[in-house]
Amino acid sequence: MAPPLLQMTSIRYTLGGKPLLDGVDLQVGRGDRICLVGRNGSGKSTLMKVVAGDIGLDGGTRFLQPDATLRVLPQEPDLAGYDDVLSYVEAGLGPLDNPYRARSLLDDLGLTGDEKPGHLSGGELRRAALARVLAPEPDILLLDEPTNHLDLPAIEWLENELKSLRSALVLVSHDRRFLTNLSRSTVWLDRGRTRRIDQGFGAFEDWRDQVLEEEELERHKLDRKIAREEDWVRYGVSGRRKRNVRRMAELGDLRREKREASRVVGLATMTVSEGKTSGKLVVEAEGVSKSYGDRPIVRDLSTRVLRGDRLGIVGPNGAGKTTLLNLLTGRDEPDTGTVKLGANVQLATLDQARSSLKPDTTLADALTGGGSDQVIVNGVSKHVIGYMKEFLFGPEQARTPLSRLSGGERGRLMLARALALPSNLLVLDEPTNDLDLETLDLLQDLLAEYPGTVVVVSHDRDFLDRVATSVINSEGEGRWTEYAGGYSDMVAQRGSGVAARTREVQAGPVSAGVAAAAAPAPARRGKLSFKDKHALDNLPRQMEEMRARKAKAQATLDDPGLYGRDPARFAKLSASLADLDGKLAAAEEQWLTLEMMREGLEG
């Protein structure tokens, strides 16, 4: 058995006086596909930094094979000092790495390489960082939330790219479908320690529940044992002093064991404020169209949303999902057509941009509106500290400025604010961003039991499958089509998932305001992509090489005595000749297609 590329043993790391990692073990072998799972705050990102060798340890050992290469996808890529995206990506290549792969990956990710760092959006920064870590094809690739800021086409492209790599992967992600499709082993970081099963994420949740049930049974047994010992303390203390002291010490040990066993991080207990019952018809859109300049965002859309519906909206970045959401909820006026909201509609919104969160506002004031320590949920007044605990915030965080909250904590805060408002129509724009898997489970359960109507924009395929009763998908050029069921049902009906938007040469940075929200996403350039041009330039040489190899093999096979002298070689050459025929035919077909494309563009 080959030694692991990376071996970590009994890793300890303390943060703020508390042990975050306490005896963690992890090994990564060649070709491993490991997903690292755990609650927000359990230390996943810290453990990834330990794996990368970026932070010191309070104890334990980390060993990386001297010749092994390792790359880390940064959460916040830093392109300072680089003239353009291509130079940033190429700087991550080693001396023996292929520079063509850097350009090819950028092209696949919708970038030209000429973009200036100061003009990149969050999604473009993430794509540039992905190209930089993927281009060298390292032995170990560490990806912490790689799907953040990516749309569905980019997520599915990334899945296929990672499947084709020989690199060992260590993945952290809240995207269940992404983890299920890629992982073959699961490491669960829980209460400072790791457990591992050699199965992918698809088996994790059943295994986790079984482990927690066994722990609960052990706690129950421990409770009974403690009760017996306490009875003895009350009624059974005798004159045998030494034996009594020993049993008292044992009782103390049992109590400490119970405290340790009970040190399980809590789960969010979300509740939603229900408003008055809306009319049966919640939203009716007839012939709705909306354009920005010459670009159509929505074209002649008609749909009806009824009470109790769970409508999902999907499409690539820049398709106009948020604009469509604003049209359907009456926050934006259509150019043509009408949108009618039904009777008694009470709207609660989760804002994707979280623009309503002011950095200097405290957590308690953000929940209460300031000047009070009470939150009203379903007509019942709750103390803000108790409501905070339901969303996994500690009492000590009440006066914490929002600028100091993590991404996951900001996501939970936005949910807490939206769910506290009386509503019968919940509008959620990317609600799953930065939420851990357990909180996602609870949100899904809440939406399933919510008596009102839900409209949600999301790139999370699993979330849409669990929540949506129908999906509206962008078909391009402002056309939107509604499909019954979740995301997988939509794929089955249309034969494919969300299609990537094509792109054009960018004239410069997008202006702020409306243009930033609705500026045209780049359309296909009027020239061949770098990958197509490279193939067109190199295919003739490759075809000549294949023809030469084919002629040489045929000449050898023409020897009438070959089969009698060496039947194995005859069979091998025959198979090789057939393989060359197929490859040559495919190359000729590809060259012809590209040449016709080039002539069409130039013409």
pLDDT in tens, 161-187: 999 999 999 999 989 999 999 999 999
Digit-coded pLDDT (tens) for 523-579: 334 566 667 777 788 888 888 888 888 888 888 888 878 878 888 888 888 888 877
Specify the pLDDT at position 503.
Answer: 47
Helix (H, G, I), strand (E, B) or coil at 340: strand
Is the CA virtual torsion 76, 80, 82, 85 positive or negative? positive
Here the tokens at position 393 are 């915030």
Domain at 281-518: CATH code: 3.40.50.300
**Cα gap 383→372, rounded to integer Å:** 9
Closest by Cα among 386, 362, 388, 384 to 373 = 384
Digit-coded pLDDT (tens) for 390-427: 887 888 888 888 888 776 777 778 778 877 778 889 89
Q: What is the pTM of this model?
A: 0.72
The reply to whether 530-602 shares the fold of 281-518 is no
**Cα gap 219→215, rounded to integer Å:** 6
Q: Going by C-beta distance under 8 Å and a sequence separation of 6 or more, which residues neighbour residue 327?
A: 285, 288, 290, 298, 334, 339
**Cα gap 592→588, rounded to integer Å:** 6
For the chain, which residues score pLDDT lower than 70?
Answer: 1, 226, 228-278, 351-356, 378-379, 407, 501-530, 601-603
* DSSP H or E segment with residue 101: helix 99-108
Overall residue count recorded for the chain in this entry: 603
Query: How far is CA 371 from each of CA 335, 365, 366, 367, 384, rounded to the nearest angstrom?
Result: 42, 7, 11, 11, 12
Q: Are strands 185-190 and 193-197 parallel, antiparallel or unpaired?
A: antiparallel
Specify the pLDDT at position 51.
Answer: 94
Domain at 6-206: CATH code: 3.40.50.300
- DSSP secondary structure string for all residues of 166-223: -SEEEEE-S-HHHHHHH-SEEEEEETTEEEEESS-GGGHHHHHHHHHHHHHHHHHHHH
Closest by Cα among 248, 101, 86, 238 to 164 = 101
Q: Are 523 and 500 in contact (CB under 8 A)?
A: no
**Other CB atoms within 10 Å distance of the CB of residue 549:** 15
State the architecture of 530-602 in CATH terms: Orthogonal Bundle (1.10)
Q: Domain locations in the chain?
A: 6-206, 207-261, 281-518, 530-602
